[in-house]
Structures are given as C-alpha cells and as structure tokens.
Amino acid sequence: MTTKIMALVDALGNLVRFVLMPGQRNDIMGVRPLIEGLTFDALLADKAFDADWLRTELAEREAQAVIPPRKHRKACIDYDAQMYKWRHLVENYFAKIKEFRGIATRYDKTDGSFKANLNLIATLIACR
C-alpha cells in the first residue's frame, strides 16, 4: 500500500494542516478535512480539485476558488492564472519534506508514527 499526503500551506509556504490518505484514493476526498474550521480568502489547487461541491462550499465561505477547470467541463470556468502561479509553494513544501529520507521512503510502519515524523519535520522546516 502507498500513502498520500494532502497538505495545506499558507501564503508563505508554511504547513497549516495535513491529512494522510491511501494512495489509491482520489485527491478531492482529502479536501474537506483540510479546510474544515479554517477561514481563508482563496484556495489554490490543481485540476484534481475541480468539483462543483467544492466550488459551492468556497463560494459560501466567500473564498475565491483558484482551480483550473478539468477538460471534461462543458462550460469553461475562469480562474486567476496569475494567482495560480503561487501554487508552487505547495510543491516547494513537498520538495522540502522529501529531503528527509524517512518521509520520502515511508519508513514508518504505522500512520501515527508517520504523522508524528511529519509534524517533527514541519517544525524543523519552520525553524530554518
């Protein structure tokens, strides 16, 4: 089995929250636990997060959805392409945590110890 790390970072690229999911699950399934109880002005995400229910929820929260539409959409949905460029902060965060070999290769046997190591590494990265 593989493990997928779903991470939410702030505008400076610092970890806000993360969720572990089975590797075979769709990315959209991890969004609700990530954004639950948080307030924010915009959510920057890739095409995997293009879902009507998520766009509706973000509109109800008065948050901007900066998500490119999938190709299968009948009507094209506009998004702020200049703001979307800032999504690289998430990719940069994953590059930082993969510098730690234990995370990159998933040495931990249990989800609890893997989460603990992710929290430890997030603390080390924030202290740099």
Summarize the confidence of residues 27-33 as an average pLDDT: 89
Residue 27: pLDDT band (50, 70, 90) is: confident
The total of structural domains in the chain comes to 1
Please count the CA atoms within 13 angstroms of the CA of 98 that sit on its side-chain side. Answer: 9
**Full residue range of the structural domain in which residue 100 is found:** 3-127
pTM, two decimal places:
0.83
CATH number at residue 47: 3.30.420
Q: What is the pLDDT of residues 44-65, one digit of tens each?
A: 999 989 999 999 999 999 999 9
Q: Torsion angle, CA of 102/107/112/113, rounded to 10 degrees?
A: -60
